[in-house]
Amino acid sequence: MANNKSMVPKLLSQEPFQPSLASAPLTMLLPDALATQRAGFCLGAALLDSQFPPIVITLRGELGAGKTTFCQGFGQALGVASGEIKSPTFSLAHEHQGKIAFSHLDLYRLENNPQAQFLEAGLDEYLAQTCLVEWPERLPDSFWPLTRLDLAFTVTGAERILTGRGVEPWTRKLWLQTTQLYY
């Protein structure tokens, strides 16, 4: 991707890395879909450039907030064409093989007893590898592993605010490295 300042999301806050669950999140302003895709690309690149273990990345946000666009950028960094990454709303899960294997889950359609539906569909098996999960709020926070990165998309007009919080110290470090790739 070209290093064009208009494509680069603006970092709104960047506190020093503090290895605790109470660490403040890092927040970025994403002015358009290209910036959202670039944010995903930078996370994928940070994951590849490091020796971090597999991670669960939860993606929260309303319909149209940019979750799948973010996943497309993530996949591009791992060598998967963005056109191959589509929301798995009806199939619940898509597997991708790039430089590392990863899965993309969409839990939007889980309704009555979503935790049982998740387990009956065998989706828990995907959590052992790098996994992007749209609509994780369908399940309680206690369901998700501590080795995760929580991302939340907030729509403000045409822009998106992307807030990331690492649950464990190394996941926070991964998100900090992601934000630093912009500059």
Q: Mean pLDDT check: name the lowest of 32-36, 90-94, 105-109, 131-135.
A: 90-94
Q: Which residue has the tokens 């603006």?
A: 10
Structure tokens at 165: 């919080």
Distances (CA, A) of 139 to 27, 95, 117, 143, 170: 24, 21, 10, 7, 24
Residue type at 86?
K
Structural contact between residues 115 and 143, judged by C-beta atoms closer than 8 angstroms: yes
CA distance 35 to 48: 20
- How many CB atoms neighbour CB 27 within 10 A? 19
Q: Average pLDDT of the chain?
A: 82
Q: What 3-state DSSP class applies to 7?
A: helix
Nearest by Cα to 107 from 95, 121, 128, 97: 121
pLDDT-based confidence at 24, cuts 50/70/90? Answer: low
The pLDDT value recorded for residue 1 is: 40
153 versus 109: the higher-pLDDT residue is 153
CB-hemisphere CA count at 13 Å for 76? 17
Residue-level pLDDT at 21: 40
Q: What are phi and psi of 83, to 5 degrees?
A: -65, -20
User: Strands 148-156 and 56-60: what pairing?
Assistant: parallel
Q: How confident is the model at residue 11 (pLDDT cuts 50, 70, 90)?
A: very low
Threshold 0.85, pTM exceeds: no
Mean pLDDT of 15-43: 74
Q: Which pLDDT band, with edges at 50, 70 and 90, does 78 fall under?
A: very high
Rg of the chain in Å (alpha carbons): 15
Torsion sign over Cα 35, 63, 173, 125: negative
